[in-house]
Amino acid sequence: MADLSSLSDAQTILLACELCAAGNVNPLPRLHQQFPTSLTTERLFRIILSFLPETTPPSLYTPILEDIDRNELSENSNGPVDVSSIKEAKEAEARRRVRQLRLLPLKYHSGESATDDLLTEFIIHRAHKIDAETGLQTFILELLLPFYDRSETLRRYLVSLILPLLRANYEYYPEREEKLSLDVFDSLDTATSINLLLSMTASNATAIDLGKNLRGLAGPWISGRIQSKRRKLSHAGSTAGVNDLSAHWQIVNEWLLSRSLVEFETVARGIIDWDGPGDVDSGGYLPEDDTSEEIDAIKRSYGQAALAIVYATDLGRGSLESSFQITSKVESLLGLDSNLQIKFDAEQLPLFDVDVKMLSTASKALLLQNALLKPNNSLTVPTPQSVGFLQILLVSLRVLRAYGYNTSCRSAATVCLQNGEEAQALEMHGVINMIAKQAKPGQDWRKIREQILWLQDWRGLHSTSDQAKSEYHGLFWRVSRAAVETEILRAMMTAGEYQVATEIYTGDESPLDLTQVETAVVETIISFYDTASNGNKTRGKMKRAVDTLRAFQSQFPNAKSLQELAALISATHALSFYSLTLQHGVPFQPVSIRVHSDPLSLIETVLEQNSKSYTKLDDLLSIGRHFVAAGLPLQLPGDDNSTRWWKSKLSQEQKSLLAEKRIVSMAVSSALASDDFGTAYSYILTRLTPPSLMPTSSSSSSSSSPIEDNISWRAAYNAGRHRSTTTSSSSPSTSTPNDQTHLTAQISVLSQRLELLSLALVLAPTADPLPEILGAWRRCDEELSTLRDQENQEAEEWDRKGDITATTTTTTSILPGGFGPTDRELDAYENERQQQTRRARARNHLAGTSNNSYEEAPMGLFDVARGAARAFSKNIPLQTGGARSGSITSPAAAAPNTTTTSPGEHFSSSRSSSEFLSRSTEFGEGEDRVRKRDMKKRPTVVNGGPL
């Protein structure tokens, strides 16, 4: 054993430094006892801190530290000590070398608050040096374990820093490339440290193991940091430690809420796996805490954060199952019992019967993210009512999600608590409409109805009609049950479930009145009709409208609305076979008929855009009759506001007659535009001539009251003044057989035009258009007279040629056999020729006299009207008991005891048609005989049609 008594103080200090540098710390306790003034405890700790290599295992010097701290010697301290190198140094040299020593301070510059325990300060500083110089963080734990029990500072240091650090780098995530250093970790503030610890993941992991991080990293960090502070302040009765602990856990709650917006499933799994702030793995280094009130308050705050996460998360980022598990976790963690026993996946939907009026005070602002954690938020503060309400919301969202309607808890809570009746009805309509649009074959619509009714009040079919409505129970609790049932009925019809709909809503136990059912059916059919892109009733929306109509028509056989819809669909179907394009190239759609102010004008567009469509008059008339039967507006030429009262008093039959006459008039105009005068003439005589003017009309038949007709005379007048573009007069000097045929056709057309103009005179309702009609008739009559003269001249020329041929024939026949005429035959032939010459002279004389008189005195209106009536009477005899001109009567019969008058002459009732017919031979006086070849065939009306 070396003699140390001869060493000076300076030499002793140098000896301690050399021993530490060599790693031989066993003699230090003996030096400390032998030289207590030069090697004080603080100086000896500083020498060890400055010169002992950090790679030295702590197990080699922790007993020495303990001996030095207690000023005791152990058996290892009595070993030999080599002091030869120190004794060789002179005192002056030793003092100089001591003054040059740079010993490290015991207190770490960024360490904890000051303490009187020198060993605690040494260990903390030594731990930082080990990590900074070697990174061997396991040495730090070996250094702390022998001493943490003697100092609360070391205990807090171990739990809050060393334990999370070692777990993160060596136990939980050892494969991480970047290790967390003690200096960096100790320098972080609270929020950064919590974020760092909770966000740690393995290098190959896709999600955070949040439960493990909360229990083993963030929990110890918070508990260890607050533990000693709380213990110190508890003796003075202060609550600062409690508030500090709550503030730290509130940071964790805020981090969980913000993180859930990005990784909901990760946060949800962490909440489900972790038992809250009381579930902290401190490694057994912290004693059990008996401050249950403090922990309960922190747990309630944590439970509020968990409920806030469910409200804040959109459904697209999180599953309903996880959200429901969060609420169940909060319920069990805080011991809340609402006696509801709500199960998320239960087939039978639960009955929610909890008073949630306290939640009605929650405003929309409380559902914002920055207000979810407020202590006065009644929706997120954990109570049996708030948890039960959130659970029933989640079950409701599960029902909606099954039908493709996705929304969040926040939106559902807003609908239930803040929305009014109109907003809830709109939301309900969107839900049911989506269910109907995404309906699949084979779905049980009875079950769907039950679930929708459950969504309304969270009771379903269990609620009765006389039961008082529970406030804030159900997503659509403000909407009446009848409105919900009506929407369900519409959805069933939209999905094509007609059998179920009729069984539920038209039976004896129907939840709706028949009037409500009829209204819903009509609105659904109209919706199909308005959204159809094609009018063909065998496909698309039109087919669905027809199917709905057929399904319910038998239930409402006398419903006028359904009858009108049937007529509208029939008209639309018939119209779909024609090409029809509206203004600006917009293709025709069925809704164009229903919204059109004048639907009959669409038929005129059809006639314009479809060649030869006027020949399908019966089809067009059927469309018009269906328009009238459908209750569509009826407009007539010259309509204004002053005539609306008159049309409103018309019967259905009269409206149908007016519509038919207007369509016939359109067809006549289309035929004339196509230069098809024959079809137009036929339509007027067979469709527009009143029954009283027809030869087959009976004066004894009854009729409905006549109405003003401003259509028929216009059609007759337009056709009567029509000039064909394909006919022209032939030159009389170059007559051929073709010219003769063409001339005959012209005469026939002019005769028909005269008849139409005469009919227009009879049908004109007032005297205003008579001058114009008579003027057209006069011009047409003049043209006819000219053509008749031309025809006579051609006939005489033909006879003259025949006579010349006959006179050149000699009595001696040139025919073989000498068969020539006898003398008697020649005399008879000569007499016949002379008679023909006299008749021709008489006709020429009459024609010359007529022409001269015409030139001298123009024909008056009376004369023209008389001639028009005479021409009209040739084909349509005027009935003395016929209907009054310009009126429409029922096609079944004509009105008896009425007088037909000619507007041109204002015929009185005492004048019969025989007076006009007696003048029909005026131009034929003096004629002895009419040859068969000169006879003209005129079309006559037989059984209502032209020949």
Q: Tell me if 147 sits within 8 A of 119, measured CB to CB.
A: yes
For residue 216, is pLDDT > 80?
yes
For residue 592, is pLDDT > 60?
yes
> Where is pLDDT greater, at 103 or 461?
103
What is the 3-class SS of 80-128, one letter each residue?
CCCCHHHHHCCHHHHHHHHHCCCCCCCCCCCCCCCCCCHHHHHHHHHHH
Q: Which of 664, 595, 678, 663 is nearest to 630 (CA)?
A: 595
Angle between helices 41-51 and 9-21 (to 10 degrees): 40
Instruction: From 650, 674, 698, give the residue that closes a domain.
Output: 674
Q: Are residues 941 and 863 in the same domain?
A: yes
Q: CA-CA distance, 733 to 725, in Å (whole number)?
A: 23
Q: Which long-range contacts (CB under 8 A, 24 or more apart) does 93-98 make?
A: 94/8, 94/10, 94/11, 94/14, 95/10, 97/10, 97/14, 98/10, 98/13, 98/14
Amino acid at residue number 867:
G
Q: Are residues 787 and 884 in the same domain?
A: yes
Q: Are residues 526 and 508 in the same domain?
A: no
Q: Are residues 361 and 322 in the same domain?
A: yes
Q: Are residues 507 and 537 in the same domain?
A: no
Q: Which pLDDT belongs to residue 398?
A: 92
Q: Which structure tokens are listed for 314?
A: 């959109």
Q: Which pLDDT belongs to residue 468?
A: 52
Predicted confidence band of residue 847 (pLDDT cuts 50, 70, 90): low
> Which whole-number Å values give the CA distances from 838 to 648, 828, 833, 834, 841, in the listed order?
67, 16, 9, 6, 5
Count of CB atoms within 10 A of residue 493's CB? 27
The SS3 call for residue 942 is strand
The chain-wide mean pLDDT, for the chain, equals: 80
Segment 114-136, tens digit of pLDDT: 567 899 999 999 999 999 999 99
- H or E segment and range at residue 707: strand 707-708
Q: Are residues 833 and 718 in the same domain?
A: yes
Pairing of strands 707-708, 941-942: unpaired
Report if residue 809 sits inside a domain.
no
Residues 6+ apart with CB under 8 A from 612: 674
Q: Which pLDDT belongs to residue 651?
A: 85
Angle at CA of residue 217, ends 213 and 219, nearest 5°: 100
Report if residue 814 sits inside a domain.
no
**Residues of the chain with pLDDT > 90: what percent?**
43
Q: CA-CA distance, 285 to 228, in Å (whole number)?
A: 13
Q: Which of 243, 112, 255 is nearest to 186 (CA)?
A: 112
What's the average model confidence in pLDDT over 520-528? 95
Q: Which string of DSSP letters, residue by residue, matches 36-61? A: TTTS-HHHHHHHHHHHS-TTS-HHHH
Predicted confidence band of residue 163 (pLDDT cuts 50, 70, 90): very high
Predicted confidence band of residue 700 (pLDDT cuts 50, 70, 90): very low
Q: Which pLDDT belongs to residue 886?
A: 47
Segment 602-657, tens digit of pLDDT: 999 999 999 999 999 999 999 999 999 999 988 766 555 444 444 557 888 888 99
Q: CA-CA distance, 17 to 13, in Å (whole number)?
A: 6
Predicted confidence band of residue 879 (pLDDT cuts 50, 70, 90): very low
Report if residue 51 sits inside a domain.
no
The SS3 call for residue 539 is coil
Report if residue 880 sits inside a domain.
yes
Instruction: From 492, 512, 532, give the residue that closes a domain.
Output: 512
Predicted confidence band of residue 240 (pLDDT cuts 50, 70, 90): very low
**Residues of the chain with pLDDT > 70: what percent?**
76
Count of CB atoms within 10 A of residue 908's CB? 8
Q: Are residues 588 and 534 in the same domain?
A: yes
Q: What is the dihedral of CA 51, 54, 56, 59, to 10 degrees?
A: 110
Q: CA-CA distance, 590 to 536, in Å (whole number)?
A: 9
Report if residue 545 sits inside a domain.
yes
> Where is pLDDT greater, at 690 or 727?
690
> Where is pLDDT greater, at 57 or 872?
57
Count of CB atoms within 10 A of residue 148's CB? 21
Q: Are residues 393 and 472 in the same domain?
A: no
DSSP class of residue 178 equals S
DSSP class of residue 168 equals I
Helices (H) and strands (E) in the chain, counts: 39, 4
Q: Poorest-confidence range of 189-203, 288-302, 360-374?
A: 288-302
Q: Are residues 786 and 932 in the same domain?
A: yes
Q: Which structure tokens are listed for 417?
A: 């608590």
Report if residue 47 sits inside a domain.
no
Q: Which of 181, 197, 201, 113 is nearest to 151 (CA)?
A: 113
Q: Are residues 608 and 571 in the same domain?
A: yes
Report if residue 728 sits inside a domain.
yes
> Which whole-number Å values give the CA distances from 280 to 26, 190, 765, in the listed order?
40, 17, 104
Rg (CA), the chain: 58
**Counting beta carbons within 10 angstroms of the beta carbon of residue 346, is it exposed (0 to 12), middle (13 to 18) or buried (19 or more)?**
exposed
Q: CA-CA distance, 91 to 13, in Å (whole number)?
A: 12
Q: Tell me if 299 sits within 8 A of 333, measured CB to CB.
A: yes
Q: Poorest-confidence range of 269-278, 290-299, 320-329, 670-679?
A: 290-299
Amino acid at residue number 492:
M
Report if residue 150 sits inside a domain.
no
For residue 710, is pLDDT > 90?
no
What domain count does the chain have?
4
In this prediction the pTM is 0.71
Q: Which pLDDT belongs to residue 237?
A: 44
Q: Which pLDDT belongs to residue 317?
A: 59
Q: Poorest-confidence range of 419-433, 437-451, 639-653?
A: 639-653
Q: Are residues 779 and 872 in the same domain?
A: yes
> Which whole-number Å values give the CA distances from 920 to 294, 331, 870, 915, in the listed order?
125, 111, 6, 9
Q: Are residues 760 and 652 in the same domain?
A: no
Q: Which domain holds residue 629?
A: 518-674
Instruction: From 418, 440, 465, give the residue that closes a domain.
Output: 418
